[in-house]
């Protein structure tokens, strides 16, 4: 797919979108006090928002989307149309939904609508915040995508997502 402009949609938020396969996972799973939600805003975009708390050794909020396994060998990167709040987020993906580890990369938002492109080969393996001694994401297949905020400070956040594509 070199030099191609073809993309494949993973998820497009809209007023008709169903969020049942989107799941919030906050630090409350380990006793933390952060809280967040995923919902549709007035324009039909996905709104991942909440508050990160450092209480009880907390410090993260995340949202995940699981879908049927996609063969992505012909693609090299993810394309995400979003509007953030000038904060840094992590993009996290899983080859298989039952994998314990994820592949992640960081991106900083500008406060404006933007399209970010994240090459698969830049996504490194991690488990509970620790980098693993494994190769970066190979780009064979994909079954989960998510966003996480964990900037080691108490803060409110808001990430608006329009769509996620393979490119």
Say whether pLDDT at 2 is over 80.
Answer: no
Q: Is 4 helix (H, G, I), strand (E, B) or coil?
A: coil
DSSP state of 99: -
DSSP 66: E
Residue 3 has pLDDT above 60, yes or no: no
Q: What is the pLDDT of residue 59?
A: 96
Per DSSP, what are the bridge partners of residue 92? 104, 146
Q: Which CATH number fits domain 8-166: 1.10.287.1260, 2.60.120.430, 3.40.50.620, 3.30.70.20?
A: 2.60.120.430
**Where residue 5 falls among pLDDT bands split at 50, 70, 90?**
low
Rounded Cα gap, residues 86 and 151, in angstroms: 12
pLDDT at 1: 41
Average pLDDT, the chain: 95
Per-residue pLDDT tens digits for 30-60: 899 999 999 999 999 999 999 999 999 999 9
> pLDDT-derived band of residue 129, with 50, 70 and 90 as boundaries?
confident
Residue 91, phi-psi category: left (phi > 0), alpha (psi -120 to 50), beta (remainder): beta
Average pLDDT over residues 2-18: 84
Residue 101's nearest CA partner among 138, 64, 128 is: 128
Is the confidence at residue 4, as pLDDT, over 80?
A: no
Per-residue pLDDT reduced to its tens digit, 60-94:
999 999 999 999 999 999 999 999 999 999 999 99
Q: What share of the chain is helix, strand, coil (3-state, %, to 5)?
A: 5, 55, 40
8 A C-beta contact, residue 28 and residue 61: no
Question: Tokens for 124?
Answer: 């490194």
Give the residue, 145 or 129, on which the prediction is more confident. 145
pTM over 0.85: yes
Average pLDDT over residues 117-127: 97
Domain regions of the chain by residue span:
8-166
Neighbouring C-beta atoms of residue 109, cutoff 10 Å:
19
Task: Identify the helix (H) or strand (E) that includes residue 132.
Answer: none
pLDDT (tens digit per residue) in 12-23: 999 999 999 999
> Is residue 75 a contact partner of residue 84, using CB atoms and an 8 Å limit?
no
Question: Around Cβ 125, how many Cβ atoms within 10 Å?
Answer: 17
């Amino acid at each position: 797919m070199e030099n191609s402009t073809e993309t494949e949609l993973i998820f497009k938020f809209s007023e008709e979108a169903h969020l049942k396969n989107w799941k919030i996972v906050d630090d409350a799973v380990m006793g933390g006090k952060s809280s967040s939600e995923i919902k549709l805003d007035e324009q039909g975009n996905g709104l991942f928002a909440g508050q990160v708390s450092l209480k009880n050794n907390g410090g993260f909020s995340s949202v995940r989307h699981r879908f049927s396994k996609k063969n992505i060998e012909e693609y090299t990167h993810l394309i995400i149309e979003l509007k953030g709040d000038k904060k840094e987020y992590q993009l996290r993906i899983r080859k298989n939904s039952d994998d314990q580890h994820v592949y992640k990369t960081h991106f900083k938002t500008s406060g404006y609508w933007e399209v970010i492109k994240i090459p698969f080969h830049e996504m490194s393996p991690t488990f509970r915040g620790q980098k693993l001694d494994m190769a970066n994401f190979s780009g064979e297949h994909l079954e989960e995508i998510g966003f996480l905020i964990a900037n080691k400070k108490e803060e409110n956040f808001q990430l608006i997502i329009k769509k996620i594509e393979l490119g």
